[in-house]
Structure 1
Amino acid sequence: MAVKNTRKKQAKLLRNTRKIHRIMGIFLFVFFIFISVSGVLLGWKKHSGGMLLPATTNGTSSKLVEWLPLADLEQKAFKVLHDSVGRTLSLELDRIDIRKEKGIVKFIFAEHLNSIQLDGATGDLLQIGIRRADFVEQVHDGSILDDYFKTPNGIIKVSYTSIMGVALLLFSVTGFWLWYEPKRMKNNARK
């Protein structure tokens, strides 16, 4: 009788695990698709032939003493952006990426996906690029919703990544259990 009770408890636990796994799958399916597709794209961003992320070019000198002052380079980047891309685009910078070993400076803008690469020594334009990978990353980590709704402190991103991380962990545990428990039950039944 104890063996039969144990078997019933195991079967009930297995059914409940399957139900949890199925319900989570139904609710999180779309999010998992976004995360997986964007994750693959992010993995390939430097190997996309410039489609997702412009290649880093090379300047004329890696010696900082030969470079123009950063303020001058910034003004040149702003002029290039407005003259070559669009006069109405925001000049607000997200960051300035200095690649000393390559002799270049990248100006990455906050309000759009354009970037400007200048030679650090001459200030010459090396590349105007579109950083589509930045958009893909925002989709991947949920920060696109923080930007859209103007939420403080990236609360949507933190909530989204926490929920998705816990969901992936639960999916892994319940998936393993759904694979392992029937085998264990079958082995116990033979004894």
Structure 2
Amino acid sequence: MSTQTKRKKQAKVLRQFRSIHRAMGALLFVFFFVISISGVLLGIKKNSGDLLLPKTQTGTSSDLTQWLPLPKLQEKAIAVLRDSVSADLSPRLDRIDVRQEKGVVKFIFADHYYGIQLDGVTGTLLHIGKRRSDVVENIHDGSILDNYLGTEGYIKLIYTIIMGVALLLFTITGFWLWYGPKRMRKNRD
């Protein structure tokens, strides 16, 4: 194969990669924009000073033998939710986050974005707050659409696969758009 034929072939591959790169960029721009902004917000959530994620408060003791049983603490958290936030909100829990070293138990609810922190020993309310970082995370991974449409994780799965494959293709085509011309120049010399 002659040098001229090789160069034409390489130029054709470069044009194809540029076309793929441009089309994917145009189609997926909004999604990549949302993922990048939400990714930055998730990266700084612990340093956002209560804006995205409430700071973990400190309870009276880290000695678990002094703590109230979790069911009792859960009852108190649900009572606080109903009395201090809204009686209409669902008390269904997503998770209970025990921070022994800080003497605190966090109750994160499944159907809304409120979190309640109680002292592990006394059950005293330490903090009520919206967990905006959970909203950002749901936007970032696409699960907000699953929650809204009730599709049990299918939209998140499809979204994650499409965006992952697109990022891989962007990496490959972007590398080739950078490396291809260098290779052509090297072969020309």
- How many corresponding residue pairs? 189
Alignment pair present for 1:177 and 2:176? yes
- Give the superposition deviation at 1:111: 0.9
Equivalent residue for 1:102? Answer: 102
TM-score of the two chains, using structure 1 as the length reference: 0.96
Map of 2:23 onto structure 1? 23
- Tell me the alpha carbon deviations over residues 134-170 of structure 1, each in whole angstroms, 9 at most, x when there is no partner: 0100000011111111113x11111111111111111
The percentage of counterpart residues that share the same residue type is 65
Which residue of 1 is the match for residue 53 of structure 2?
A: 53
Structure 1 gaps, min length 5: none
Paired position in structure 2 for 1:14: 14
Deviation at 1:97, TM superposition (A): 0.7
Q: CA RMSD in A?
A: 1.0
2:82 aligned residue? 82
Aligned to 1:186: 185
1:98-144 CA-partner distances (Å, limit 9, x unpaired):
11111111010011111110000001000001100001000000111
**Superposition TM-score, scaled by structure 2 size:** 0.97
**Superposition pairs of residues 150-169 of structure 1, within 5 angstroms:** 150-152=150-152, 154-169=153-168
SS in 1 for 2:78: helix
* 1-structure distance, mates of 2:81, 2:51: 19
Determine the structure 1 residue equivalent to 2:73. Answer: 73
Q: Which runs of 4+ in 1 moved over 2 A?
A: none
| Pair 1:138 & 2:146 matched | no
Q: Which string of whole-angstrom CA distances, capped at 9 and with x for unpartnered residues, describes residues 67-126 of structure 1?
A: 111111111111111111111111111111111111111010011111110000001000
Output the CA distance in 1 between the equivalents of 2:71 and 2:188: 76
What CA distance in whole angstroms lies between the structure 2 residues aligned with 1:65 and 1:8? Answer: 76
Counterpart in the other structure of 2:148 = 148
Q: Distance in 1 between matches of 2:13 and 2:115?
A: 54
1:173 aligns to what SS in structure 2? helix
